[in-house]
């Protein structure tokens, strides 16, 4: 009788153990819905961050002529591509950092060095100055030609030159005189184009 009771106790213990074991296995096999929800939420948040940053970049004049790609992973933003200047590179990082949800910004943008930018600006200034000097020379040359040309006698022609493009304005006494003035201007050294729309033929 005592032996039967011991056997029943043993079977009861085994049954409880089996139930507990099965529960543990079921728990281990079941996916953690909390972790899945958190991962999905992070992905949605990253997408929203990327969209907001791209929108900011699209409307900021400092980033014109820049080609920037944006990726976000768990709030960490990575910027790749090229910025038009060192100022544009810094502006992109600042804009991205100020977006809600951004933890940090990994700025991998390439940009011209400060020395290169200074050199480029200096070159542009030199070219601009040279162009202005050439424009002045063209204007002076044309005015001299018109003053000595009997075919434009009696006309009142003004000459302006910008980037080698000559604009003639004022009045002439005939269409033939206008045609001649345009011809002279076009065949002046350094002139690339002549605009005579403001040069009118006076009524007799």
pLDDT value of residue 111: 86
- Reported as a single tens digit per residue, the pLDDT across 83-141 is 988 889 999 999 999 999 999 999 999 988 655 555 656 666 666 666 777 999 999 99
pTM of the model: 0.40
Written as six digits, the tokens of 142 are 């044309």
- Architecture of the domain defined by 42-112: 2-Layer Sandwich (3.30)
- pLDDT mean over 183-194: 92
Cα(200)–Cα(190) distance, integer angstroms? 24
Residue 154 has pLDDT above 70, yes or no: yes
Query: What are the boundaries of each domain within the chain?
Result: 1-30, 42-112, 116-201
Cα(24)–Cα(73) distance, integer angstroms? 34
């Amino acid at each position: 009788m005592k032996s039967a009771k011991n056997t029943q106790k043993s079977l009861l213990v085994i049954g409880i153990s089996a139930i507990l074991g099965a529960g543990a296995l079921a728990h281990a096999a079941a996916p953690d819905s909390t972790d899945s929800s958190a991962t999905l939420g992070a992905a949605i948040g990253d997408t929203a961050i990327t969209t907001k940053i791209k929108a900011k970049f699209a409307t900021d004049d400092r980033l014109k002529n820049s080609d920037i790609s944006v990726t976000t992973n768990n709030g960490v933003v990575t910027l790749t591509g090229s910025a038009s200047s060192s100022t544009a590179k810094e502006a992109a990082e600042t804009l991205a950092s100020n977006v809600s949800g951004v933890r940090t910004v990994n700025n991998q943008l390439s940009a011209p060095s400060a020395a290169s930018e200074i050199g480029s600006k200096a070159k542009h200034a030199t070219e601009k100055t040279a162009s202005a000097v050439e424009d002045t020379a063209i204007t002076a040359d044309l005015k001299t030609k018109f003053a000595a040309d009997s075919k434009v006698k009696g006309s009142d022609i003004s000459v302006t030159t910008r980037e080698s493009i000559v604009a003639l304005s004022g009045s002439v006494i005939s269409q033939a005189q206008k045609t001649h003035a345009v011809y002279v201007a076009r065949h002046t050294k350094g002139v690339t184009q002549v605009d005579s729309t403001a040069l009118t033929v006076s009524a007799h």
